[in-house]
Amino acid sequence: MRITYRDKAWELPGGMTARDTIKKVGLDPEAVLVVRNGELVTDDVILSDEDEVKLIAVVSGGDGEVS
């Protein structure tokens, strides 16, 4: 399966959960959402070889506003 995240891409075999796949590519499961074949899914789904997986970063910020 093909996994993309920002400007990075990986080819990995299927059969793992999305959560394990996220960890395998070195990302934090808390910090991404999983879009499989165009659909948002939870990270317990088992991914297959044919899946196109897009990992969406959810962390943003900067100014650390206090008020």
Partner 1 sequence: MRCRRCSKPAVINMRQHKLALCGEHFLEWIPAQTQRFIKKYEMFDPRETILVAVSGGKDSLSLWDLLLSLGYEARGLYVDLGISEEGYSSSSLAKVDRFVEKREGARLKVVDVKEVYGKSIPQLARERPEQKTCSLCGLVKRYIMNETALEEGAVLTTGHNLDDEAAVLLQNVLHWQTGYLLRQAPVLPSTHPRLAQKAKPFFRFYERETAAYAILRGIDYIYEECPFATGATTIFYKELLNRLEGRSRGAKLQFYLSFLRAREKGLFLRMLPFGPERISSVNEGLELGECERCGQPTTAPGLCAFCRLWKVAEAEVG
Binding residues vs partner 1 (CB under 8 A): 28-33, 35, 39-45, 56-67
Closest approach, Cβ 57 to partner 1, in A, equals 8
Closest approach, Cβ 40 to partner 1, in A, equals 4
| Contacts by residues 28-36 (CB-CB < 8 Å, ≥ 24 positions apart) | 31/57, 31/58, 31/59, 32/5, 32/56, 32/57, 32/58, 33/58
Closest approach, Cβ 20 to partner 1, in A, equals 13
